[in-house]
């Protein structure tokens, strides 16, 4: 039996990589809760149980930590969407369903990350914004729509505009679903595609505003 009077062994110190990952996780939680402006290095350090200089040593400040977190979340979400849209032989409607479901799955599994992405980025943050990420996704959707528009003898030049509309619908619906979580993500994805797909199937070739 161990002598209770003997000193307890100290926990092993984190390596530099482990400490960095810990700060990323802590920062991710705080930024999601409070946003960039209301988050301080002091709070991040306190929650991680380290001194402020440790945060500065690894990231140079909260701006550097925020940039790392946004870059990771952007890569995760874009990777999931690219994977969903990469099955070239799949029916376009199936691709749309997969992409919508991938988006909602990311929200479901990475709630803090999504909250960070949809918040306004700080002025100094020039890349990796949510709007630029959606632009990348829209570009991929555009190529799918262009092929479908040609097949149905619609003007393929409209593909860019329709892609922006579809991606905007998914993104806005995703933000709404983040707070409600009802119905299920599968039901939401199915209904988004139901609206967009059957709208595509019945749309006019040269739509105009009526009554003007």
Q: Up-side HSE of residue 33: CA atoms within 13 Å toward CB?
A: 10
Per-residue pLDDT tens digits for 153-171: 888 899 999 889 989 999 9
Per-residue pLDDT tens digits for 8-35: 655 568 898 999 999 999 999 999 999 9
Neighbouring CB atoms inside 10 A of 66's CB total 22
Per-residue pLDDT band for 124 (boundaries 50, 70, 90) equals very low
123 has a pLDDT exceeding 80: no
Per-residue pLDDT tens digits for 181-209: 999 999 999 999 888 888 766 767 777 76
57-59-62 Cα angle (round to 5): 115
Residues 45 and 123: their CA atoms lie apart, in Å, by: 23
Per-residue pLDDT band for 87 (boundaries 50, 70, 90) equals confident
* pTM of the complete model: 0.80
Residues 81 and 100: their CA atoms lie apart, in Å, by: 8
Per-residue pLDDT band for 120 (boundaries 50, 70, 90) equals low
Who's near 161: CB < 8 A, 6+ residues apart? Answer: none
């Amino acid at each position: 039996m161990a002598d209770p009077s003997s000193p307890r062994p100290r926990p092993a110190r984190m390596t530099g990589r482990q400490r960095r990952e810990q700060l990323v996780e802590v920062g991710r939680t705080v930024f999601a809760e409070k946003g960039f402006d209301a988050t301080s290095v002091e709070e991040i350090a306190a929650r991680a149980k380290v001194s402020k200089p440790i945060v500065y040593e690894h990231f140079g400040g909260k701006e550097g930590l925020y940039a790392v977190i946004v870059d990771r979340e952007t890569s995760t979400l874009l990777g999931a969407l690219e994977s969903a849209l990469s099955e070239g032989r799949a029916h376009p409607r199936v691709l749309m369903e997969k992409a919508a479901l991938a988006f909602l799955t990311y929200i479901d599994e990475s709630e803090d990350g999504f909250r960070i992405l949809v918040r306004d980025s700080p002025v100094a943050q020039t890349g990796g914004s949510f709007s630029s990420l959606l632009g990348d996704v829209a570009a991929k959707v555009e190529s799918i729509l262009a092929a479908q528009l040609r097949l149905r003898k619609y003007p393929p030049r409209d593909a860019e505009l329709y892609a922006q509309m579809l991606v905007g619908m998914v993104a806005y619906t995703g933000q709404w679903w983040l707070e409600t979580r009802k119905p299920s993500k599968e039901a939401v994805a199915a209904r988004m595609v139901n609206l967009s797909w059957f709208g595509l199937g019945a749309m006019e070739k040269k739509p105009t505003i009526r009554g003007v």
